[in-house]
């Protein structure tokens, strides 16, 4: 590539945004038939990542008097008023013994209708860990606990103490790739940038904007677009230039295929919140609506929303954060009902870590275990999976400073989702490498 062409190419990139091209080259778009790609059905997982570490001890709160009093002593000024909580009635628990944050009415309705489950006190673990074992350093632990980058990496990759460049969704794509040759785009689709979660050894995700493949629209149809396409189509001596040019050619082909498919989606009756998360989930719903046009039988979507590192102003900010999550997840589930795929799409949350029970005066600090949500008509809802801990400073699950030791591993959480998605039993340890260190591979929250 000569210097003039390189400058033109970089200018096009700057004007149009970063271009991503991942996954298989799309061929002729055909309607999905039974057995396309080795599967006779359609399933999708949708990861909603709460960036910064969600304080889930204020999302699901004990309401029975003794447990609430313990919670209130631990949380101090962060404690929510008992009569403000939205009562829920989990299967196997006394009526009204738990409540949800007052801003999450949508999640309350999903839970009470049996379409939402809570996975309690879950986090990255390498082996079952008790407080005495943690104190004695007699069990292996995930590295750099309480660090945003490290614990985000643990959740997205389940890598334990290994140096690992793949994520667990990427490894699912690797393992399923022989059965998905007929899909027009990659199994993994991110609407929130490139992420370790979807990186595989051979499979790579398709990355798009939160409202669709918008990064290509700014190229337009004039001289700039023609220059970009000419540069991408040229022959190059360097293997690096050839590989990069091919990735851009694939990007253009994917963008054309996805844009054409999305343009054919009829307007949906479901209304989504006017927020970045709402927009991402609306686009996921539209992508699911064109699954047959793109020949898709298995998909994993990644969306994200930030603001959850609530060291400060937690009482002021958390209602809006959780309210947005609740309204967006409720709208997305309603869209899957509208599309007739509510039993085929499972949405789940992940976050860097739980937060401390203790207040720092204006918020909470980095913790370990926390609560996650799983939503869909294939979920055994209105239930808690795992043991909701006693929220007591210095208690059996508090390793110090109100940081709760997980009693359910992230590997078990992921293996349960992967099994439902269609990963064969023998491949589950490839997806969740530490799962066999625990009593069960399946937490039971999927039908």
CATH number of domain containing 396 = 3.40.720
Q: How many domains does the chain have?
A: 1
In this prediction, residue 264 carries a pLDDT of 87
In this prediction, residue 252 carries a pLDDT of 64
In this prediction, residue 98 carries a pLDDT of 98
Query: Is 387 within a domain?
Result: yes
* Pairing label, strands 116-123, 370-375: antiparallel
Query: Is 153 within a domain?
Result: yes
Query: Is 220 within a domain?
Result: no
Q: Are 85 and 61 in contact, with CB atoms under 8 Å apart?
A: yes
In this prediction, residue 277 carries a pLDDT of 98
Query: Is 273 within a domain?
Result: yes
In this prediction, residue 182 carries a pLDDT of 83
What dihedral angle (degrees, nearest 10) is formed by the CA atoms of 129, 132, 135, 137? -60
In this prediction, residue 256 carries a pLDDT of 79
Helix, strand, coil share of the chain (percent; to 5): 40, 15, 45
Phi and psi dihedrals of 119, rounded to 5? -100, 115
What is the pTM assigned to this prediction?
Answer: 0.88
CA 141 to chain centroid: 23
Q: Indicate left, alpha or beta for 98 from its phi (over 0: left) and psi (-120 to 50: alpha).
A: beta
Query: Is 120 within a domain?
Result: yes
In this prediction, residue 213 carries a pLDDT of 87
What dihedral angle (degrees, nearest 10) is formed by the CA atoms of 226, 230, 231, 236? 180
How far is 18 from 105, CA to CA, in rounded Å?
A: 38
- 29: Cβ contacts below 8 Å, ≥ 6 apart: 184, 257, 260, 261, 293, 294, 295
Domain residues for the domain of 118 are 20-215+239-437
In this prediction, residue 359 carries a pLDDT of 98
Query: Is 142 within a domain?
Result: yes
10 Å CB burial of residue 434 (0-12, 13-18, 19+) is buried
Cα–Cα distance list, 427 to 176, 181, 346, 361 (Å): 10, 19, 20, 46
How far is 162 from 158, CA to CA, in rounded Å?
A: 9
Phi and psi dihedrals of 21, rounded to 5? -140, 105
In this prediction, residue 235 carries a pLDDT of 74
The total of other beta-carbon atoms located within 10 Å of residue 377's CB is 18
Query: Is 87 within a domain?
Result: yes
List, for the chain, all residue ranges whose pLDDT scores fall below the cut of 70: 1-38, 214-233, 240-253
């Amino acid at each position: 590539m000569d210097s003039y062409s390189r400058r033109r190419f970089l200018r096009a990139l700057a004007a149009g945004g970063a271009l991503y091209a991942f996954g298989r080259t799309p061929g002729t778009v055909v309607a999905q038939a039974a057995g396309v790609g080795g599967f006779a059905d359609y399933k999708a997982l949708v990861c909603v990542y709460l960036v910064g570490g969600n304080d889930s001890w204020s999302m699901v709160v004990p309401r029975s008097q003794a447990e609430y009093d313990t919670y209130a002593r631990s949380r101090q000024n962060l404690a929510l008023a008992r009569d403000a909580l939205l009562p829920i009635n989990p299967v196997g628990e006394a009526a009204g013994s738990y409540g949800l944050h007052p801003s999450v009415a949508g999640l309350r309705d999903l839970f009470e209708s049996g379409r939402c489950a809570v996975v309690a006190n879950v986090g990255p673990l390498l082996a079952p860990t008790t407080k005495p074992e943690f104190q004695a350093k007699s069990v292996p632990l995930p590295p750099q606990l309480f660090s945003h980058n490290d614990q985000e990496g643990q959740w997205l990759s389940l890598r334990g103490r290994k140096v690992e460049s793949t994520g667990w969704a990427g490894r699912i794509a690797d393992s399923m790739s022989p059965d998905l040759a007929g899909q027009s785009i990659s199994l993994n689709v991110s609407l929130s940038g490139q992420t370790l979660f979807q990186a595989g050894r051979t499979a790579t995700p398709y990355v798009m904007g939160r409202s669709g493949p918008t990064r290509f629209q700014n190229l337009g149809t004039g001289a700039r677009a023609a220059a970009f396409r000419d540069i991408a189509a040229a022959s190059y001596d360097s293997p690096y230039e050839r590989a990069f040019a091919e990735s851009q050619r694939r990007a253009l082909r994917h963008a054309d295929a996805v844009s054409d498919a999305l343009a054919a989606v009829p307007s949906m009756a479901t209304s989504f919140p006017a927020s970045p998360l709402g927009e991402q989930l609306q686009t996921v719903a539209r992508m699911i609506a064109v699954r047959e046009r793109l020949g898709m039988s298995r998909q994993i979507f990644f969306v994200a929303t930030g603001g959850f590192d609530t060291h400060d102003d937690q009482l002021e900010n958390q209602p809006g954060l959780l309210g947005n999550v609740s309204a967006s997840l409720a709208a997305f589930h309603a869209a899957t009902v509208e599309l007739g795929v509510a039993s085929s799409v499972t949405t789940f949350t992940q976050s860097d870590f739980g937060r401390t029970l203790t207040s720092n005066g204006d918020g909470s600090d980095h913790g370990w275990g926390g609560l996650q949500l799983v939503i869909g008509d294939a979920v055994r809802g209105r239930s808690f999976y795992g043991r909701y801990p006693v929220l007591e400073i210095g208690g059996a699950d508090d390793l110090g400073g109100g940081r709760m030791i997980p009693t359910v591993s992230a590997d078990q959480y992921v293996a349960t989702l992967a099994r439902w998605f269609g990963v064969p039993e023998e491949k589950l340890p490839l997806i969740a490498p530490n799962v066999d260190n625990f009593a069960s591979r399946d937490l039971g929250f999927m039908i």
